Amino acid sequence: VPPSPLRLRLCAVLILIGVGLEVSPSPGVSSAIFFVPGFLLLVPGVYHVTLHLTAPLRGHRGFQFFYLPYFEK
């Protein structure tokens, strides 16, 4: 599972490709192929970014930046 910021970027790209295919349709390619995965990635991506990154900023009890996982290359 890709990390949340990457997941958000990926869903944005998929949705934009779907919009592009709706605006200028291409024969044999459905825009739903890009819309459905884009929206499926959008829900958990937004949830994790908004909850796990904004809760420590607002000072919610139990959320600290120290406990957030980080990804090393």
What are the residue boundaries of the structural domains of the chain, listed by start? 4-67
Convert the pLDDT of each residue in 5-61 to its tens digit. 777 788 889 989 989 988 988 788 888 888 888 888 888 777 777 777 777 778 777
Contact (Cβ atoms closer than 8 angstroms) between residue 12 and residue 34: no
CA–CA gap between residue 4 and residue 2 (Å, rounded): 6
Report which of residues 14 and 63 the model is more confident about: 14
Which pTM value belongs to this model? 0.59
